[in-house]
Every structure is written in structure tokens, then in C-alpha cells.
């Protein structure tokens, strides 16, 4: 709909509601067309959290649940920039992540995969982007894990990301992957994204520049949230 | 300026609880937002909103996350944007609830005021679950606001025979007012979802 402050979700980029190869989509998504909305305050405002909402170790998943040592696995830095569709930074926005441990095991009570839990790893963290939209997590590289979607189904190693951006309309939940994963071609969730270039934007790139010597590999994952239409006031 | 493309959405999957709804799900991790949104002293009518989320076969969705965003009793969004600051500090306006084994969810909140002339009181809702690749937007309206509802431009943009899917029904209980808002992802009573 025209005259909305926020640009629409780009349906050439986002997955379809129903994607047959991902079986759980069949009964859980609307079959009737979405109804266009004229964005009101409800859509163009959103929850705001101060930096004081976070604990000092929220960004460091190797420490925020440690009980008697470091978690097992490959320590990594995951960093990047949150921006809008005009490339402007999205500052002070809450980023929440959750993931499996190095063995590909989620700590969730209903997870049944026969891989070990790590007593020193929860797998959840938070960060508030800085004034330039930058964020940085320390974590353990997650393992691939099997799931029941089809025979011999394995999810590529991934980290879940949840962001708000400046508005209810700019909310985004997605997954970050790692370059070189051998299972991309077989994963219906990754391949539900219709555009190859868009899929590749979910694949974090190794950066030697940001890798810390003797300490941890770094992966870069930039995130683009919905932006605003230019208005006469801003033009 | 350069044209940057949106980052694609992906499902939040089945195992988000320890990250997004940890306290209500029993994990040792602090929750940034929960389903008890209003401290006792917050001005306004304190109400409970509850419902059940169901799939197209009528089965409960036991791994959904429902998020709501609403104005305070005066129709103001609490610190909600840089140019719309205001509202009660004890009221965040944002709630988050993971569904239980029966697909149930609830929020303890206050009834929002109208955000301006011509708008009926309402709550913005985001629905996510395993199997939902793009989060779904819907809205909660209030049955007793029939005059305001009949003038609300967004509610009235919905076909008349589907508007009821957005209207929470009120009942009075000893613990206070309760609104019922069930979410049907598909079926004859499929909830209206918006392209926000």
C-alpha cells in the first residue's frame, strides 16, 4: 500500500508461506491472502530497550552460562552491522541469538538428538547494536543437527537471530549460516528463500582481518532491516 | 544511496524457548520480555488476554511464540519511537509468550486506549512458530468497542465476514476481565493476517 512509512516486505526475497519441502509449513501458515495494512503508530513504533537491560556477559556465550570451565568447541567471533535498506545504521537495537552447542545439541527440553549437552554452554545471548549499528558476539561454532523432516535430514550449522529494529514493522527473525557448509543443497529451510543471492546473504563470511591471533576465528554477518520511504521532510 | 536488500526471514524453529522465553519456560536465563506486562500500579484497566493457537488440522501449536505491542491506557506508546515518547515507565507495551502443550498463551496487561481519532483500541500481534518462515502479523480488537470498531479504518478494510477473527470476546471473572483471542492459522475461521 502506498503512503506507508515503512517499505514493504520484499516477497522476492523472503520465503513463501507454504514451502512443500519443509513439511511443517503446510498446516501452520495462512492460506488466505494477507490483507494490506495502512501502517499506523502500532506498526511504526516498537519496543525499545536500554543498554541497562543487558547483563555484562550477555554477548559472550562462552561465559554467560559457564559453571566450571569453558564450553567445548571452536570459539568464534560473530560480528556485523545492522542497517536499513538505504545502508543507514540501525543503532541501539536489541539482537537476540540462540543456537546448538558444538555437538549439534540444543539444550531445549524437547530436543532428543543423541549428542552431548555441554554443562558450560546454554547457547543464548543478546547484544544491543552500537551507534554505528555494529554488534559482536563471542560464541562456540554450532554443530549440524539431524531433524525429522525427511530421511537423513541435517540442518546446516546455524545461529538464530531475532531483531526488532526501530518499529514493530521492522521485526526480523532469521538464521545465520557458515560458508562452506556441505548440507546447504539439502536443507529445505535454507532453500525456501527463492533468490540465490538472498540465500547467500545469510551465509556469514570468514574474516582474517577480524580474526584474533591465538584466540578465535571471526565471521561477519551484516543484517538489513526494512527501511523507510523517503518523505518530503527527509528529502 | 546504495540499495541494500532486505535480509531474508527464516523460522525461529522449535527450540527458541531458552533464548527468547527462558523464565516462563524454566531455563536459567533472564527474559528480556515476558507475558506479565503491567505492574499493579500501572494506570488503566488490568485485563488478561488468553487464547489458543491451532493449525489447519485443528491441532494445538505447542511451539509458537506470540508477541504483542500495544499503547497504554491513554493511547500512548511507551517510549515506542523517537518522536512518540511518553507513556508509563512501568508499562513496556511489549509482551512475549511461548505457547504451552495445548497451544495456550496469555498476557496480563492493561486495556489499551485508542491511539487517536478514528482508531479503535487494538493490540498489534506477531505470530511465529516452527514451520512459520515469515512471522505473521495480526491484531486484537475488543468486542465491547463496537462503535469504535465500526469506524476503525484497518478493521473495516477486512471483509465483514472475517472481522470477528480479530475481535476478542470479554468475560468477567473473579480475577478480573478476561479476553479470549484464539488464533487459527488456517480453516474456515482462519484468522486475518496483514501484510504490514
Q: What does the pLDDT read at residue A167?
A: 96
Kindly indicate the confidence band of residue A52, based on its pLDDT and cuts at 50, 70 and 90. confident
Asked if B47 and B110 count as a contact pair (C-beta separation under 8 A), the reply is yes
* Nearest C-alpha in A relative to B22: A124
CB contact under 8 A, B130 and A97: no
- C-alpha B162/C-alpha B52 separation (Å) is 18
Task: Provide the residue ranges of all domains of chain A, joining segments of one domain with +.
Answer: 23-224
Q: Interface pTM (ipTM) of the complex?
A: 0.96
Which CATH number is B17-184 given?
Answer: 2.60.130.10
Q: In degrees, to the nearest 5, what angle opens at C-alpha B19 toward C-alphas A6 and A226?
A: 10
Confidence check: pLDDT of A74 > 80: yes
Which residues in chain A have Cβ-Cβ distances shorter than 8 Å to B123?
42
- C-alpha A188/C-alpha B34 separation (Å) is 31
Kindly indicate the confidence band of residue B1, based on its pLDDT and cuts at 50, 70 and 90. very low
Select from B1, B2, B9 the residue whose CB has the most chain A CBs within 10 Å, as the one to mutate to test that interface. Answer: B9
What residues have CB less than 8 Å from A44, skipping those under 6 apart? A5, A6, A167, A168, A169, B81
Q: What does the pLDDT read at residue A1?
A: 47
Which candidate, B105, A115, A204, A186, places its Cα nearest to that of A123? A115
Q: What is the pLDDT of residues B53-107, one digit of tens each?
A: 999 999 999 999 999 999 999 999 986 433 344 445 578 899 999 999 999 999 9
Q: What does the pLDDT read at residue B46?
A: 97
Which residues in chain B have Cβ-Cβ distances shorter than 8 Å to A166?
81-82
Q: Domain A23-224: state its class.
A: mainly beta
CB contact under 8 A, A27 and B186: yes
pTM score: 0.96
Confidence check: pLDDT of A16 > 90: yes
Q: What does the pLDDT read at residue B104?
A: 98
- C-alpha A76/C-alpha A223 separation (Å) is 18
Confidence check: pLDDT of A92 > 60: yes
Q: What does the pLDDT read at residue B82?
A: 35
Compute φ and ψ for B182, nearest 5 degrees: -90, 150
Amino acid at each position: 500500500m502506498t503512503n506507508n512509512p515503512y517499505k514493504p516486505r520484499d516477497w522476492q526475497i523472503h520465503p513463501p508461506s507454504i514451502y512443500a519441502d519443509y513439511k511443517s509449513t503446510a498446516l501452520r501458515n495462512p492460506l488466505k491472502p494477507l490483507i494490506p495494512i495502512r501502517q499506523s503508530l502500532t506498526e511504526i513504533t516498537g519496543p525499545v530497550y536500554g543498554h541497562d537491560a543487558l547483563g555484562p556477559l550477555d554477548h559472550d556465550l562462552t561465559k554467560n552460562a559457564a559453571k566450571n570451565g569453558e564450553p567445548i568447541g571452536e570459539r568464534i567471533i560473530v560480528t556485523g552491522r545492522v542497517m536499513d535498506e538505504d545502508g543507514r545504521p540501525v543503532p541501539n537495537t536489541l539482537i537476540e541469538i540462540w543456537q546448538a552447542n558444538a555437538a549439534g545439541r540444543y539444550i531445549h527440553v524437547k530436543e532428543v538428538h543423541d549428542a552431548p549437552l555441554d554443562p558450560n554452554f546454554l547457547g543464548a545471548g543478546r547484544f544491543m547494536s552500537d551507534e554505528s549499528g555494529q554488534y559482536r558476539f563471542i560464541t562456540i561454532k554450532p554443530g549440524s543437527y539431524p531433524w525429522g523432516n525427511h530421511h537423513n535430514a541435517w540442518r546446516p550449522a546455524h545461529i538464530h537471530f531475532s531483531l526488532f529494529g526501530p518499529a514493530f514493522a521492522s521485526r526480523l527473525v532469521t538464521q545465520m549460516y557458515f560458508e562452506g557448509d556441505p548440507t546447504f543443497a539439502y536443507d529445505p529451510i535454507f532453500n525456501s528463500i527463492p533468490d540465490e543471492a538472498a540465500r547467500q546473504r545469510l551465509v556469514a563470511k570468514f574474516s582474517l582481518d577480524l580474526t584474533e591471533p591465538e584466540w578465535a576465528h571471526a565471521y561477519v554477518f551484516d543484517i538489513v532491516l526494512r527501511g523507510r520511504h523517503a518523505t518530503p521532510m527527509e528529502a | 544511496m546504495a540499495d541494500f536488500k532486505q535480509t531474508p526471514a527464516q523460522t525461529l524453529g522449535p527450540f527458541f524457548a531458552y533464548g527468547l522465553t527462558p523464565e516462563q519456560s524454566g531455563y536459567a536465563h533472564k527474559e528480556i520480555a515476558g507475558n506479565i506486562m503491567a505492574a499493579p500500579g500501572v494506570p488503566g484497566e488490568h485485563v488478561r488476554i488468553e487464547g489458543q493457537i491451532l493449525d489447519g488440522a485443528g491441532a494445538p501449536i505447542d511451539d509458537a511464540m506470540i508477541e504483542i505491542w500495544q499503547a497504554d491506557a491513554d493511547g500512548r506508546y511507551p517510549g515506542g519511537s523517537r518522536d512518540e515518547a511518553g507513556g508509563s515507565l512501568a508499562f513496556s507495551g511489549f509482551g512475549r509468550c511461548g505457547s504451552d502443550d495445548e497451544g495456550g498463551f496469555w498476557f496480563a496487561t492493561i486495556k489499551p486506549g485508542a491511539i487517536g481519532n478514528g482508531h479503535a483500541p487494538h493490540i498489534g500481534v506477531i505470530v511465529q512458530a516452527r514451520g512459520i518462515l515469515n512471522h505473521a502479523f495480526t491484531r486484537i480488537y475488543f468486542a465491547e468497542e463496537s462503535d469504535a470498531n465500526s469506524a476503525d479504518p484497518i478493521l473495516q478494510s477486512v471483509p465483514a465476514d472475517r472481522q470477528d477473527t480479530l475481535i476478542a470476546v470479554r468475560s468477567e471473572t473473579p480475577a478480573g476481565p478476561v479476553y479470549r483471542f484464539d488464533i487459527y492459522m488456517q480453516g474456515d475461521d482462519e484468522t486475518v493476517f496483514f501484510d504490514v
